[in-house]
Amino acid sequence: MNQDTICAIATAQGGAIGSIRVSGPHAIDITERIFIPVKAEKKLTGRKPYTLTFGHIYNGEEIIDEVLVSLFRTPHSYTGEDSTEITCHGSSYILQQVLQLLIKNGCRLAQPGEFTQRAFLNGKMDLSQAEAVADLIASTSAATHRLAMSQMRGGFSKELTDLREKLLNFTSMIELELDFSEEDVEFADRSALLQLADSIEKVIARLVYSFNVGNVIKNGVPVAIIGETNAGKSTLLNVLLNEDKAIVSDIHGTTRDVIEDTVNINGITFRFIDTAGIRETNDTIENLGIERTFQKIDQAEIILWMIDATDAPSQIEGLSKKLLPHCEGKHLILTFNKSDLIREEQKEAILFLLTNFPKTDINSIFISAKQHSGTDELQQMLTEAAHLPTITQNDVIVTNVRHHEALSLALEAIHRVQEGLNRNISGDFLAQDIRECIFHLSDIAGEVTNDMVLQNIFQNFCIGK
Ligand code: GDP
């Protein structure tokens, strides 16, 4: 148990109400030294846990603020320690004054993430849950919030515990066999073990795979906007991003750099990648940009191909061959821009042209980026193309790079176990690989994680959490 009592401002600046957290063995008596309840009999040290007490914070004779103090007693608090939370008015002057008074009376200012670190050290949550707290604070969309919430509630931890239990059973059978190795007995039925290994492998593989889904939810569905120069890519991007980040210009080839930005459409985060226009050219800088365009296309899930509708047949003809091989397994949206400049017959001719298009699972749409027409429908099309699995708070999805790495190593270890069982290798080699698999899973929950890694994780928190 940690002996220091720590304090920190837990709310962001600028709100009407501010909150200061105090945690540690002296949390209650230090708070009492600066707080006088309105009703004299309601002294904090005598109060029951989970109560609110109304009163004033004093600096000597001077009243600093009228506040409410919430009280928690060990082990039933966020950190597992005695804690108080002082809710006062949100002025940064008041918050600073209260903080100073607490420090003067024996508290120490908390390090970033120290409250959550104490919760972890006191067994209130495992490391994967503690990390989810940081994600929860950082969540900006409904989907990232749902992900972090599910992890904090411990769905992931439960899967890990189940896996580790299965693996421990596995090793104990093998190790029992090793103890009796002289007598050449096989306690562990090899085919039953293989079945067990297969079922463990399935769960780990699913978790490793879920990282891709988690990653897309967290960082956005990558959409590459491609097309010939002057098709209107930058103009569209500006409309989607609602700002003038990309350069719009009449001179061919101005969008030389790849610009990325995220935007939230219907609750889904999209990461738009505007690319250099594709055009045969001798300009080396522009050629470099074009090369990068194709690299970006390979990373995208959705390809938004902008075509200048006034020049559609030649633009389709010009790019199809180069582009389509890169579109395998991706969602392709043909976006005919500048529809304000074409007549109805031209539109029909383009639609007719599409009936012979070599790729079948495509969407197409006419828009005018300049006049903002059709862009709402395009956004709807993007939302449908993203077809993210709807996740619930009960789904276990891995979003953290550290967890993903540990799971990938666990997967490699269990693959070696499966291979070993198939090749009938001796028990001690099997036991070693199983132990390695357990080690990596335990790393996620923080059971074998070294201090340096721990420090690193909690450092990324904000102070007060
Ligand atoms: P990019 O090279 O593909 O990024 O193309 P830009 O976005 O820079 O646009 C090239 C030119 O086309 C600019 O002059 C735009 O104003 C113009 N443009 C873009 N979209 C439209 C549109 O929907 N209608 C019309 N008439 N002009 C457009």
| Residue 274 CA, closest ligand 1 atom number | 4
Render each residue's pLDDT in the chain as its tens digit; 465 residues: 458 999 999 988 778 899 999 999 999 999 999 999 999 999 999 999 999 999 999 999 999 999 999 999 999 999 999 999 999 999 989 999 999 999 999 999 998 888 998 998 898 888 878 777 777 777 666 667 777 777 777 777 888 888 888 888 888 777 777 766 666 656 567 788 899 899 999 999 988 888 877 777 777 888 988 888 899 988 998 888 775 444 444 444 444 444 567 787 877 788 887 665 565 555 555 566 667 777 778 888 899 999 999 998 888 887 777 788 888 888 999 999 999 999 999 999 999 888 888 777 789 999 999 999 999 999 999 988 887 666 565 667 787 778 888 999 999 999 999 999 999 888 888 889 998 999 999 888 777 666 766 776 677 667 677
- Indicate the top mutation candidate among 370, 371, 373, 378 to test ligand 1's pocket, ranked by most ligand atoms within 8 A of CB: 370
Give the pTM: 0.57
Ligand 1 geometric centre to CA of 326 (Å): 25
Full set of structural domains in the chain with CATH: 4-109 (3.30.1360.120), 139-211+399-448 (1.20.120.430), 219-384 (3.40.50.300)
Give, for 390, the enclosing helix (H) or strand (E).
none
- Name the residue at shortest CA distance from atom 24 of ligand 1: 338
| Residue 246 CA, closest ligand 1 atom number | 4
Kindly state the DSSP code that residue 28 receives in the 8-state scheme. H
Show Cβ contacts of residue 44 under 8 Å, excluding neighbours closer than 6 positions: 28, 29, 31, 32, 35, 37, 53, 69, 71, 84
d(CA 199, CA 396): 17
Ligand 1 geometric centre to CA of 276 (Å): 14
Is residue 129 exposed (0-12), middle (13-18) or buried (19+ Cβ within 10 Å)?
A: buried
CB of 403 closer than 6 angstroms to any ligand 1 atom? no
Residue with tokens 């900006």: 140
Q: Does the annotation list 154 as a binding residue? A: no
- Name the residue at shortest CA distance from atom 25 of ligand 1: 338
Q: Is residue 333 within 8 Å of residue 233, measured between CB atoms?
A: no
- Name the residue at shortest CA distance from atom 26 of ligand 1: 338
d(CA 8, CA 22): 7
CB of 56 closer than 6 angstroms to any ligand 1 atom? no
Ligand 1 geometric centre to CA of 283 (Å): 22
